[in-house]
Amino acid sequence: MPTPFEVQSTNNETRLIIRGSLDINSAPALAEEIDRITASRPARVVVDLAQLDLIDSSGVAALVKLYKGIRSAGGEISISGARDQPLAIFKLLRMDKVFNL
């Protein structure tokens, strides 16, 4: 079974791949990873949601925290690949425009 999230770092970019369900049960573990990513002050972060099937408000909150953390430290962040239920949630919350989905 694939892990729910994976971080791939190169010199230029940190890539965060999130799979399956990002919800109130899985978000706390991701939040720890997000703290580590933010603390490393990467120049560019790419969040890949192509394999994300479900998200709830806790999962959205974790992504917002990452987005704000990277941007406030002067880094770039892009969120891509959202589809189906997660995309519907971002649209409902009108975050699709902010995240440029």
Partner 1 sequence: MGAPIRLTVPGTLRYRAIAVRTVAEAARLVSASARVDPKDPLANDVRHPFDTAIVSAFMEIFNNVAIHAYQRREGGTIELSITPSDRELVIELRDNGRPFDIDRVEPLPSDLDDDSLPEGGMGIHIAKTMLDEMTYEPGPPNLWRLCKRLSTQPVATGAGRS
Q: Does 73 bind partner 1 (CB under 8 A)?
A: no
Task: Give me the 10-49 binding string for partner 1, x by CB under 8 A, dash otherwise.
Answer: ----------xx-xxx------------------------
Q: Does 5 bind partner 1 (CB under 8 A)?
A: no
Q: Which is nearer to partner 1, 12 or 97 (CB)?
A: 97
Structure-token pair, residue 91: 């649209």
To the nearest whole angstrom, how small is the minimum distance from the Cβ of residue 95 to partner 1? 7
Query: 4 with 22: CB under 8 angstroms?
Result: yes
> Applying CB under 8 A, which of residues 7, 15, 81, 85 lies at the interface with partner 1?
85
Query: In Å, how far are 4, 77, 92 from 70, measured between CA atoms?
Result: 21, 7, 24
Name the CA radius of gyration of the chain, rounded: 12
Q: How many helices (H) and strands (E) would you count in the chain?
A: 4, 6
